[in-house]
A and B are shown apart, each in its own frame.
Chain A
C-alpha cells in the first residue's frame, strides 16, 4: 500500500490528508475567513502558516487512530499544491512540504491543483474519460484528455465564475464566500432581468455580467433575489453551453464537474439536463471533493509517484499561473 500526505493551500482553505490507493485515510482542514471583503493573499498565507502544524498533526493523529499500524514511517511521499494559486499561500505550503520531505527523507511531489480536482473527481465517480467543467474562484475551464495532456478547450477570457460571484456578493454586502449566499437568494427569485450573455466559440467572459448585476441592484434595490436569479441563470447557461459544445467537439458523452462552484445546485441541475438531452451522463463528486481539499492533492501525488514522477527540490518552486495543459500526464494511457 502506498500512502501519500497531501497539502493544499492555494487560496482560503488549508487542508492536509492521507490517502492510499484504496481510500482517504484521514482529512483535516482549517479555513481562513476574511474579517471583511474578499481574500487577502497575505492574510490567508499568515493563516496557513499559523495553522499548518495543527492541521498536519490532526491528520496524522486521525490516521493513527483509524488505521492500525499507521505511523510517520508509513508515509511514502509528500504532495503539495504547486499552483495555480495565490503566491504567498502557495509559498507557505510549499515551504512546509519541503521541510517535511527533508525531515522524513521521502520524495516531494509538486501537484497541479486543477488536475488534482479532475483526478479526485474521476476517482470518486468512477468515470473514465469525461469532458471536465472546472469552476472555482479564479478558474473556469472546459477540458478534455487527449494524447498525454488535459487540453483546455475553452476558458474564461477575464475572471473566473467564483470571483464573479464573490465580487457581486461583496457588492451586496454578503460575506465571503458569496456563492452559497447568492444561490440562496437566487432560489427566491422569480423574474428574469436582462443580463449580458458572452460566449465566443468555447470561451466565456464574466466581467461584463458582474458589472451589469451590480447596476441592476443599484436600479432595483428591492429586487436582490431577482438579480441573483438572473445573474446565476445567465452565468450557468453560458457555462453549460460551452460545455455542451466541447462535448460535441470531442465526441465524448460523459461530463465531470469539478471545483468549488460545482457545489451550486442550479449549476448541477442545468448540466444534468443538458447531458440527459444529448444522451450523455453527468458526474459530480461529493461537495467535500469539489471544494479545495488535501485529499485531491494526496491522490494526484499518489498517481504521479506510482507512475514514477517526483519533484526534486530545485524544481519545487511554486507556479502561481500553473496551467493544466503544461502537465505531462504520466498516469493515464
Chain B
C-alpha cells in the first residue's frame, strides 16, 4: 500500500499521485482560443484513455483506467520502479517485444523513454504514459518512436549498446516489419532529429 503523494507538471498536463491512484489533468493554454483549447484537451484525454486500453487489449501492460473526466484521466498507480532505474538486457528485450506489439497494432507511443516505462513489483513491464501517442502505421513514425527510445538509452545508461541490441532482438520477435523500421531509425539518427534531452 502506497500513500506518498507527489505532483509533476509537464508541458501539457499536471500529474498527481494520491494514494493508489494517479490523476492526470490536461492544463488550459492561454495562447489558444477557448474553442480550440477545450476541444484539444478533451480529444487528447479521450484518445489517451482509448490508446491505453487498446494497448492492454493487445497484450501490452498499462495502468488500468479508473475514470475519464473531460480533462482528466484517473488511473491505478503501478507499484514498482522506473525502467531507467532497473533496466538490464532482459528488461530491454521485453520492452522491445511490447513496442513491436504496439507498432504492429498501429499505435505510436510518441515518447518512448525509460522514464515512461516501469518494471512492476510483479516483474511485469508497464507502459505508463501515452500522452503523446497516436494511431499511425508509417515507417517514419515508427522509426522516430524507436529512435527516441535509443536516444533515451544513450543519455542515461552506460551499457546502452547491449541494451539496444536486446531491444532489437525483442522488437524483431514480435514485429515482422522491424528491419525496415530499424533502418529508418538509423537514417533519422543521421538527420540528427529528436536528440536526447
Could you tell me which A residues sit within 8 Å of B by CB distance? 146, 149, 151-153, 192, 197, 200-202, 233-234, 237, 240-241, 244-245, 247-251, 269-271, 273-274, 277-278, 323, 325
Q: Assess A153 versus B194: contact at CB under 8 Å? Given A201-B132, A245-B11.
A: yes
CA distance A248 to B11 in the complex (A): 6
Q: In the complex, what distance in Å separates the CA atom of A250 from the CA atom of B111?
A: 14
Q: Which residues of chain B have C-beta atoms less than 8 A from A202's C-beta?
A: 194
B144 CB-CB contact with A under 8 Å: yes
Nearest Cβ on chain B to A92's Cβ, whole angstroms: 30
- Residues of A within 8 Å of B194, CB to CB, are 153, 202
Is the beta-carbon distance between B31 and A149 smaller than 8 angstroms?
no
Q: Is there an interface contact between B31 and A233, defined as CB atoms closer than 8 Å?
A: no
CB distance from A254 to the nearest CB of B (A): 16
Of all A-B residue pairs in the complex, the 6 with the closest CB atoms, nearest first, are: A237-B32, A248-B11, A192-B35, A273-B31, A270-B31, A274-B31
User: Given A192-B35, A200-B141 in contact, is the A277-B195 Cβ separation under 8 Å?
Assistant: no
9 contacts between A and B (CB under 8 A): A192-B33, A233-B36, A241-B29, A248-B10, A269-B31, A278-B11, A323-B191, A325-B192, A325-B193
Residue contact A233 to B132, C-beta cutoff 8 Å: no
> How many Å from the CB of B127 to the closest CB on chain A?
16
Q: Which residue of B lies closest to A277 (CB)?
A: B30
Q: When the two chains form their complex, are residues A152 and B193 in contact, meaning their CB atoms are under 8 A apart?
A: yes
Beta-carbon nearest neighbor of A150 in chain B: B192
- Nearest A residue to B28 by beta-carbon distance? A277
Whether B177 is near chain A, meaning CB under 8 Å from some CB there, is no
A192-B33, A237-B36 known; A152+B197 contact, CB < 8 A: no
* Nearest CB of A to B9, in Å: 10
Interface residues of B in 13-37 (CB under 8 A from A): 29-33, 35-36
Q: Which chain B residue lies CB-closest to A274?
A: B31
Contact among B110, B132, B134, B191 for A152, CB-based, below 8 A: B191
Contacts of B66 in A (CB 8 A): none
User: Who on chain A is nearest to B10 by CB?
Assistant: A248
In the bound complex, residues from chain A placing their C-beta under 8 Å from that of B141 are 200
